[in-house]
C-alpha cells in the first residue's frame, strides 16, 4: 500500500494529478479517478520490479502486493459491504483491474507501461 501512495506522489511530480483534477462531470470524474488509481497501482509494480532487481524484496512480497491490490478493488469492497456491485460508482477500479496494472508495472519495470488513459477498462 505504501508503494501505491508513493505512486500518487510520482503522479503529482509528473503533473498527472493536476491534469486529471480538471475533469468535470461525475461519470468522467469517476473514470479519471479510476485511471489515476490504476496508474498508481502500476507505479507500485514498477517500484516492486526495481526493488526486486536490487535484491531487496523478501519471498512473498510480490504476492502480498497482488493480494492487497485485489482486496481493495471497488467490486470486492462493495460486495463485502453492500452485498452488491455498482460499477457506475467506482472510483478505484475492480480487483481484476488493480491486479492487472500492478502486474503490468512489475513485469515491465517501466513508467512508460503505466499509461492508463487508453486502457482503464481492462
Question: Mind listing the pLDDT tens digit for each residue in 44-88?
Answer: 999 999 999 999 999 999 999 899 999 999 999 999 999 999 999
Distance CA 16, CA 9 (A): 10
How buried is residue 117: exposed, middle or buried, by Cβ count under 10 Å (0-12/13-18/19+)?
middle
For residue 73, which of 44, 46, 41, 105 has the smallest C-alpha distance? Answer: 41
pTM for the full model? 0.90
- Predicted pLDDT of residue 119: 62
Kindly list the domain boundaries of the chain, sorted by start residue: 2-114
The DSSP symbol for 120 reads T
DSSP string, 77-88: HHHHHHSS--GG
Amino acid at each position: 500500500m505504501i508503494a501505491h501512495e508513493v505512486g500518487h506522489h510520482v503522479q503529482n511530480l509528473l503533473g498527472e494529478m493536476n491534469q486529471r483534477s480538471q475533469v468535470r462531470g461525475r461519470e468522467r470524474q469517476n473514470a479519471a479517478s479510476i485511471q489515476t488509481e490504476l496508474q498508481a497501482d502500476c507505479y507500485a509494480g514498477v517500484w516492486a520490479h526495481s526493488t526486486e532487481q536490487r535484491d531487496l524484496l523478501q519471498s512473498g512480497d510480490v504476492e502480498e502486493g497482488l493480494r492487497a491490490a485485489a482486496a481493495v478493488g471497488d467490486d470486492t469492497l462493495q460486495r463485502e459491504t453492500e452485498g452488491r456491485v455498482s460499477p457506475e460508482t467506482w472510483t478505484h477500479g475492480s480487483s481484476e483491474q488493480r491486479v492487472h496494472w500492478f502486474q503490468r508495472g512489475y513485469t515491465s519495470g517501466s513508467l512508460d507501461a503505466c499509461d492508463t488513459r487508453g486502457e482503464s477498462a481492462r
